[in-house]
Structure 1
Amino acid sequence: MIELFNNVECGINARYLNDMEYFGGFEQEDLDQLFDAMAANYKAWCSGFAPMAVGGDMESVAVQEFSRTLFNMRPDIALSVLQTIFQSDMREILNLVTVPCHIIQSKKDLAVPIVVAEYLHQNVGGDSVVEVMSTEGHLPQLSSPDIVIPVLLKHIRLDIVTKQ
């Protein structure tokens, strides 16, 4: 998922972990398995995770590039970053985001289900719009730049404060 805050691209998820009142996409057991696999064999984890995250096979340039960046990270740092990201809960501060937000979501995203984009839309403190792109993967800017670039340009030009 990509959000545009004042024409600056950011990635955010309110929370990845499901709870009684929120669906973020993952159960704690799923995350524990992800962290354990990463700690046990980082290179194998990278090879399996990259195609799922990007939304393609290992032959695609986008997956190969993302794999390369993962392989270049120190495994302990990568694990720490992933744990921080997946265990964070930003729901309590979403109302503090008062700049207009353009929430751009892949149709099929392994890490962020479409319901999260709607949750963000309903809970940010300012005006927002949601657009679901016909892309797959968590990194559509890598796997489908031909779809993402026109959407980004359209949203950069859109003044949602006066258009709603």
Structure 2
Amino acid sequence: MDVERRNNVTVTGNPHGRTVVLAHGFGCDQNMWRLTVPALEADHRVVMFDYVGSGRSDPSAFSPERYSSLEGYARDVAEVCEVLDLRDAVFVGHSVSAMIGVLALGMVPERIGALVMVSPSPRYIDDEGYRGGFSAEDIDELLASLEANYLGWSAAMAPVIMGNAERPELGEELTHSFCATDPEMAHVFARTTFLSDSRDDLKGVGVPTLILDCLQDVIAPREVGAFVHRAIPGSTLVTLDATGHCPHLSAPEATNDAITRFLAELR
């Protein structure tokens, strides 16, 4: 198996610096990190990739069975880390990738030495004593709409997820990214994402962890960031002066400043 081709792995930046792995969220690809890479590549080796079914990954590698759980995506991350022989890398995960990073850390702990979680959510559905932001009925309706008309769902939902209605070009970019994803593969990733529950996995995180949330986020409200912070011993929570679910696009300076400060403290 050619892991680098499967996941369209890209390596840039300083080959002598600590490695930072940038992992995109649902419906996105590695291009979503283009405003973050310039802030990192002078001092760090930067690794990016596309999950199977996203971006320029190899669609022939897609398996509904493998990717019906977050563990399948985490195995991809672990294999990317292994094929590049990474050691003590910093894994930066957006949205669902934050939890994928937690699972990958458990699989290859010697290869991941720190986590940065951008707009994370360990569970999207409300539960007793936990607010994820959605009822079970909300998620059922979301998935039904997505599976009935993925392109229509993307056009309607992407601007809502992005927020920042006064900057419609951001919502348009996310819409384009969603629409570029194969619908059948997107159905699997969406169901895996929105039905996941990684709350118990957070207790096993024993590496330095930065959690970034936003002032307003319809996908991961601030209560979620606070929950993740409480669940991971010694973690740091920073609330960005930003709105929407993709601060690395809508507020790149604030996002990059928080990440680079965290990286500097790791040295």
Selected match of 1:141 from 240, 248, 261: 248
The number of residue pairs the alignment matches comes to: 156
Contact 1:6 1:100 in 2 (8 A): no
Q: 1:109 to 1:6 in 2, by over 3 A?
A: farther
Query: What per-residue deviation string (whole Å, max 9, x for no partner) do you get for residues 92-148 of structure 1?
Result: 111111101111101101110111111111112x41110111111111111221321
Aligned-pair distance for 1:6? Answer: 6.2
Aligned-pair distance for 1:30? Answer: 0.3
Aligned-pair distance for 1:153? Answer: 1.5
Selected match of 2:148 from 36, 40, 47: 40
Match of 1:127 in 2: 234
* Matching of residues 15-164 of structure 1 within 5 Å: 15-57=123-165, 60-124=168-232, 126-159=233-266
SS in 2 for 1:18: coil
Residue identity opposite 1:73 in structure 2:
T
Residue identity opposite 1:131 in structure 2:
V
CA distance in 1, matches of 2:238, 2:184: 35
Q: Which has the higher contact order (CA 8 A, sep 6+)?
A: 1
Quote the sequence identity (%). 27
CA distance in 2, matches of 1:58, 1:64: 12
Structure ranking higher in helix proportion:
1
CA RMSD of aligned residues (A): 2.2
Which consecutive residues of structure 2, in runs of 5 or more, have no partner in the other structure?
1-23, 25-87, 99-119
Match of 1:8 in 2: 91
Aligned-pair distance for 1:78? Answer: 0.9
SS in 1 for 2:92: strand
CA distance in 1, matches of 2:213, 2:165: 21
Match of 2:58 in 1: none
Contact 1:56 1:143 in 2 (8 A): yes
Query: What per-residue deviation string (whole Å, max 9, x for no partner) do you get for residues 74-106 of structure 1?
Result: 112112111111111111111111101111101
TM-score by length of 1: 0.86
Aligned-pair distance for 1:18? Answer: 0.7
Residue identity opposite 2:219 in structure 1:
A
Query: What per-residue deviation string (whole Å, max 9, x for no partner) do you get for residues 35-54 of structure 1?
Result: 11112221111111111111
Match of 2:12 in 1: none
Aligned-pair distance for 1:13? Answer: 1.6
CA distance in 2, matches of 1:109, 1:150: 20
SS in 2 for 1:158: helix
Which consecutive residues of structure 1, in runs of 5 or more, have no partner in the other structure?
160-164
Q: 1:108 to 1:54 in 2, by over 3 A?
A: same
SS in 2 for 1:9: strand
